[in-house]
Amino acid sequence: MTHLGPLNDEELIALWGEVMATMLERGIVHSGNNPIADIAERLVADHYGVGTEPPNQKGFDVKTPDGERVQVKALRRTKPGRNRLSAIRSLEFDILAAVIFGGDMKLAGIALIPIAAVKDHMGWSNTWQANSLSITKKLMADDRVDHLAVS
State which residues form the domain around 144.
33-148
Check residue 5 and report its DSSP letter: T
Query: Residue 2's pLDDT is what?
Result: 64
Residue 83: give its domain's CATH number.
3.40.600.30
d(CA 35, CA 27): 18
28 lies in a domain? no
Summarised one tens digit per residue, pLDDT across range 72-97 is: 999 999 888 899 999 999 999 999 99
14 lies in a domain? no
Query: Residue 132's pLDDT is what?
Result: 96
Query: Residue 104's pLDDT is what?
Result: 85
Q: How far is CA 47 from CA 60, 94, 115, 137, in A?
A: 16, 16, 19, 24
83 lies in a domain? yes
56 lies in a domain? yes
Residues of the chain with pLDDT under 50: 1
52 lies in a domain? yes
What amino acid occupies position 58?
K
d(CA 63, CA 70): 6
Q: Report the predicted TM-score, pTM, of the whole model to 2 decimal places.
A: 0.83
60 lies in a domain? yes
Check residue 51 and report its DSSP letter: P
Query: Residue 25's pLDDT is what?
Result: 85
Query: Residue 60's pLDDT is what?
Result: 96
Tell me the CB-side half-sphere exposure of residue 7, using CA atoms within 13 A.
Answer: 12
Query: Residue 34's pLDDT is what?
Result: 63
141 lies in a domain? yes
Number of domains, the chain: 1
23 lies in a domain? no
Check residue 32 and report its DSSP letter: S
Query: Residue 72's pLDDT is what?
Result: 96
